Structure 1
Amino acid sequence: MAFLAGCDQLVEFQRARQYCTGNTFDLSPQNEYRRSSYVSITGGGSGGLPLMFLSDAKENRQQRAVFGEFLSTCGVVEPHDRIMTVHASGYFYRSLDLMSEIFESAGGTVFSAGNFMTPDEVVRALAHYNINVLTGDGSQVIQVIHHISTLSAERRKEIKLTKVIYTSEPLTDGQKKHIVATLGPVKICSVLGSAEAGPYAIHNPDLTRDAGLTGYTEFVFDTRIILNEVFPSSVVESDSSTALKPLPEGQEGVLVQTSLQRRRNPLVRYITGDVASIHPLPEIARSVVPESELKYFRMLRLRGRDRRFSFKWYGVYFEFQNIEKLMQRDSFGILQWQVIIGTHESSPQTVLEIRLLQKGASQRAISDQDFLYEMETFFFVLPENRHLFRLTFVEDLGGFEKSGTGNKVMKFVDRLH
């Protein structure tokens, strides 16, 4: 995305970020982005090449410490929490060391498992070390929970998890219900962030649970560390001569961010592409957040990325948001899914493949035959195109195609372009 233009200073910041991400191979002494920088990657989650993103190394460490204190203030991490993180690391991806240090700054005791331990190894460690918090990217968390759901009742009793903290990928309502059904009444929290802004908001149901909305996740952020503004959707198409004003609190639009912590490599009015609105904290937050901090906190009601795209298969356009609604039906018991379009082996025809990880048959409220009927009906599978449609059931996350950056399950894989 681009910066919101409107004055010469913002245009200069835009050029600065383009220099940061697009000129990492510039060896000249004038390239400040090669000096004392924290290197992470962004992108690649939809199959594209990732971009290097560089921020100041000292500012990055300071931001981790401040955000850790924020987690503690908001009750996401408590002093006696023993936390196992299965975040990814390697191939330039930094979430493991980032989240480990943040949780330690929040006062937690961290067991850094990483993403290369098998689910069985993770589960045995959870029991052996009496760990009460599991954290990781959404896909990694679901992989561990799914493995726990396959264990005997006796082995499940050895798991004493009271809290799950996910990052990077939103969990669906079906996935959250599966976590609770497997572990019991655990608290499900989240950390929101990006390579561009770093970690900047948290979700704790103890702070926002009175809203009762569907299709949204409500996060809390500190106005002292980030400026979140909401602009009309036309901001995405704005040029340098357009001077738009942010919308009032409560109105929904495109989220635009200015970091108040990243100053050497600044982030100014960055268009995230997320659809959101900003609100005061509900009264329930007073039971957790100290009165002295409340005036600085706001609630970000996030609807997710503005998905204005579709794909075409056999003459029919499929809106991605409609597919998401289909996959979230409770009766289907879908824990993870993926859409892949590619070419037929012996012809240039387009093949549509749907890969699925489901709960066990006894946990689903629909028969296999009825499920197949629902899927084929939705995707307009007919006798003449059935050879171009594949429904693939996988046993674990290893059956999905993942991004080369964070090892995340890609919802949409395009092999045609």
Structure 2
Amino acid sequence: MGVEEKERLQLERLKKTAQTVYEKVPFYKKKFEDSNITPDQINSLEDLKKLPFTKKQDLRDHYPFGLFAVDQKDIVRLHASSGTSGKPTVVGYTKSDIELFSEVVARAIAASGGEPGNVLHNAYGYGLFTGGLGLHYGSEQLGMATVPVSGGNTQRQILLIEDFKPQVICGTPSYILNIAETMEKMGKDPRNTSLKYGIFGAEPWSEEMRQTLEEKLNIKAVDIYGLSEIIGPGVSIECHEAQDGLHIADDHFYAEVIDPETLQPLPDGEYGELVFTSLTKEAFPIIRYRTGDIAAINSEPCKCGRTSVRMSRVKGRIDDMLIIRGVNVFPSEIENCLLQLEEIVPHYQIQLKRDGTMDQVVLQVEVSEKVFDECSQDLSHLMMEGLKSKIQHTIKTNCLVSIDVDIQKPNSVPRSEGKAVRVVDLRKEEALQK
């Protein structure tokens, strides 16, 4: 669709959504009134900036169904976040919302290289998390045979990959890497499967991780993005032709990037906080939702021919950002450094500790089997000191921070069967022990 035609469609849908939330969601009516705006004042896409923001806390404050715009009888599915920091955030879907969800995910799978008649191995978790069911419905919508294996039971995953011969695999990058490494330990070559494409998301991952996955599995790996508050997976995805930014389904989800401090919109190319407004959802429409994800957007045409706005790979989350001696660093930036070093494997964990009155950041990394054997399985070996210095130098050069490094033997860092836990804050636990 051409840009002007798409913008007309976006404005038409934005005006309808604004009218809906004003009439049917008391929270939004009050927010609009507090901002001295009514839906009939939305006459251009620029007017979106006049509308109030929505935050995750707003969802928790109206738990469970306070932000729904339809009657309970019209809800056909509920999803919820894990609720690790208080009440979970709950989202609902009407029958039309499920059809929309299926459509945008089907588009995403097609952009990744999937085709009708293919087999899709779905290793995303099923349940209240939107990932598993989102990819499942989209795969079926596209006309693919869907294997709903979910996460875990890695050896069974390998058996099904060998026997069902899927062309596409979906899951978190850390878990799919775990599958590949398990195959290698079983004496199997993960490059010799039927897989051609991988759709990876639900956790930040780096370009270096992409290269590792592509090399280990002999596939094209693309990044998918989504969050339950907007709809789930399928909000955006990379195309397999370019692998250069994630195409946003922007006829359904309007994207902005703002400065998280000033809340002012940022121009294309500048990194800030992603903000989404839904344009076509019925049960749970949402206005200017602050995602907490750091990214940039790009309106330039893509070589694949799609005219949708693209977003960069998510750099990290505002709440995951580490401040190390005054320097802001995201875990994904540390991952970029680690994956440049062949002596260690791409599994790591950042631990936040307290050393007296000072915060201490310790990076746990895992040495490769080859290096471990060369050191006669002695982590106190002089070679390990050299490797530690090399890791610290690489991080210092690229991230401009000095960090403590703890080198572990192979298979010591916890493996993921879902989202990888990259940052562990031990400070509260240490304080309680004292």
> TM-score scaled by structure 1?
0.72
Q: Tell me how far apart the structure 2 counterparts of residues 56 and 37 of structure 1 sit (CA, whole Å).
A: 6
Question: SS of the counterpart of 1:189?
Answer: strand
- Give RMSD over aligned pairs: 4.2
Q: 1:364 to 1:131 in 2, by over 3 A?
A: farther
Question: SS of the counterpart of 1:335?
Answer: strand
Deviates more, 1:368-377 or 1:56-65: 368-377
Q: Tell me how far apart the structure 1 counterparts of residues 270 and 327 of structure 2 sit (CA, whole Å).
A: 29
Matched to 1:22, the amino acid is D
Select which of 131, 146, 153 maps to 1:110: 146
State whether structure 2 residue 254 is matched by structure 1 residue 227: yes
Deviation at 1:167, TM superposition (A): 1.7
Deviation at 1:348, TM superposition (A): 9.1
Q: 1:365 to 1:131 in 2, by over 3 A?
A: farther
The corresponding residue for 2:347 is: 336
Deviation at 1:389, TM superposition (A): 7.2
Question: SS of the counterpart of 1:227?
Answer: strand
Q: Tell me how far apart the structure 2 counterparts of residues 31 and 394 of structure 1 sit (CA, whole Å).
A: 53
Q: Tell me how far apart the structure 2 counterparts of residues 16 and 331 of structure 1 sit (CA, whole Å).
A: 41
Matched to 1:164, the amino acid is G
**Are 2:51 and 2:288, in contact at CA under 8 Å, matched by a contact in 1?**
no
Query: What residue ranges of structure 2 are gaps of 5+ in the alignment?
Result: 1-27, 39-47, 376-382, 397-403, 429-434
Q: Tell me how far apart the structure 2 counterparts of residues 376 and 252 of structure 1 sit (CA, whole Å).
A: 26
The 5 A counterparts of 1:21-36 are: 21-24=60-63, 36=75
Q: 1:23 to 1:254 in 2, by over 3 A?
A: closer
Matched to 2:225, the amino acid is L
Deviation at 1:353, TM superposition (A): 4.4
Deviation at 1:311, TM superposition (A): 4.7
Matched to 1:165, the amino acid is I
Select which of 185, 188, 192 maps to 2:221: 188
Q: 1:363 to 1:275 in 2, by over 3 A?
A: farther
Deviation at 1:74, TM superposition (A): 2.7
Q: 1:416 to 1:20 in 2, by over 3 A?
A: same
Q: Tell me how far apart the structure 1 counterparts of residues 395 and 82 of structure 2 sit (CA, whole Å).
A: 29
The 5 A counterparts of 1:36-47 are: 36=75, 38-42=77-81
Which is helix-richer, 1 or 2?
A: 2
**Are 1:21 and 1:51, in contact at CA under 8 Å, matched by a contact in 2?**
yes
State whether structure 2 residue 140 is matched by structure 1 residue 124: no
Question: SS of the counterpart of 2:427?
Answer: coil
Q: Tell me how far apart the structure 2 counterparts of residues 218 and 227 of structure 1 sit (CA, whole Å).
A: 16
Cα deviations by residue, 1:277-310 (Å, 9 ceiling, x for unpaired): 222322x213xxxxxxx45x23223452364843
**Are 1:236 and 1:271, in contact at CA under 8 Å, matched by a contact in 2?**
no
The corresponding residue for 1:148 is: 183
The corresponding residue for 1:395 is: 411
**Are 2:268 and 2:296, in contact at CA under 8 Å, matched by a contact in 1?**
no
**Are 1:328 and 1:334, in contact at CA under 8 Å, matched by a contact in 2?**
yes
Q: Tell me how far apart the structure 1 counterparts of residues 284 and 298 of structure 2 sit (CA, whole Å).
A: 26
Select which of 277, 281, 285 maps to 2:297: 277
Q: 1:35 to 1:390 in 2, by over 3 A?
A: farther
Cα deviations by residue, 1:370-415 (Å, 9 ceiling, x for unpaired): 22233467899xxxxxxx9744345177x25x7xxx9422221112
**Are 1:252 and 1:276, in contact at CA under 8 Å, matched by a contact in 2?**
yes
Q: 1:59 to 1:338 in 2, by over 3 A?
A: farther
The corresponding residue for 2:204 is: 170
The corresponding residue for 1:161 is: 195
Deviates more, 1:119-128 or 1:297-306: 297-306
The corresponding residue for 1:134 is: 169
Deviation at 1:219, TM superposition (A): 0.6
Question: SS of the counterpart of 1:122?
Answer: helix
State whether structure 2 residue 104 is matched by structure 1 residue 67: yes
Deviation at 1:342, TM superposition (A): 3.9
Q: 1:112 to 1:351 in 2, by over 3 A?
A: same
Which is strand-richer, 1 or 2?
A: 1
Q: Tell me how far apart the structure 2 counterparts of residues 111 and 122 of structure 1 sit (CA, whole Å).
A: 10
State whether structure 2 residue 310 is matched by structure 1 residue 310: no
Q: 1:230 to 1:365 in 2, by over 3 A?
A: farther
Q: What is the number of residues matched between the two proteins?
A: 367
Q: 1:373 to 1:157 in 2, by over 3 A?
A: closer
Question: SS of the counterpart of 1:62?
Answer: helix
Cα deviations by residue, 1:17-37 (Å, 9 ceiling, x for unpaired): 75643232689x999679726
Q: Tell me how far apart the structure 1 counterparts of residues 327 and 82 of structure 2 sit (CA, whole Å).
A: 24
Matched to 2:421, the amino acid is M
Matched to 1:178, the amino acid is T
Q: Tell me how far apart the structure 1 counterparts of residues 279 and 163 of structure 2 sit (CA, whole Å).
A: 42
Q: Tell me how far apart the structure 1 counterparts of residues 109 and 184 of structure 2 sit (CA, whole Å).
A: 30
The 5 A counterparts of 1:2-21 are: 7-8=36-37, 20-21=59-60
Select which of 67, 79, 82 maps to 2:116: 79
Q: Tell me how far apart the structure 2 counterparts of residues 139 and 146 of structure 1 sit (CA, whole Å).
A: 11
Q: Tell me how far apart the structure 2 counterparts of residues 279 and 364 of structure 1 sit (CA, whole Å).
A: 50
**Are 1:355 and 1:394, in contact at CA under 8 Å, matched by a contact in 2?**
no
Deviation at 1:61, TM superposition (A): 0.7
State whether structure 2 residue 390 is matched by structure 1 residue 374: yes
Q: Tell me how far apart the structure 2 counterparts of residues 193 and 26 of structure 1 sit (CA, whole Å).
A: 21
- Higher relative contact order at CA 8 Å, sep ≥6: structure 1 or structure 2? 1
Deviation at 1:193, TM superposition (A): 0.5
**Are 1:142 and 1:175, in contact at CA under 8 Å, matched by a contact in 2?**
no
> TM-score scaled by structure 2?
0.70
Query: What residue ranges of structure 1 are gaps of 5+ in the alignment?
Result: 210-216, 239-243, 287-293, 381-387
Q: Tell me how far apart the structure 2 counterparts of residues 126 and 115 of structure 1 sit (CA, whole Å).
A: 14
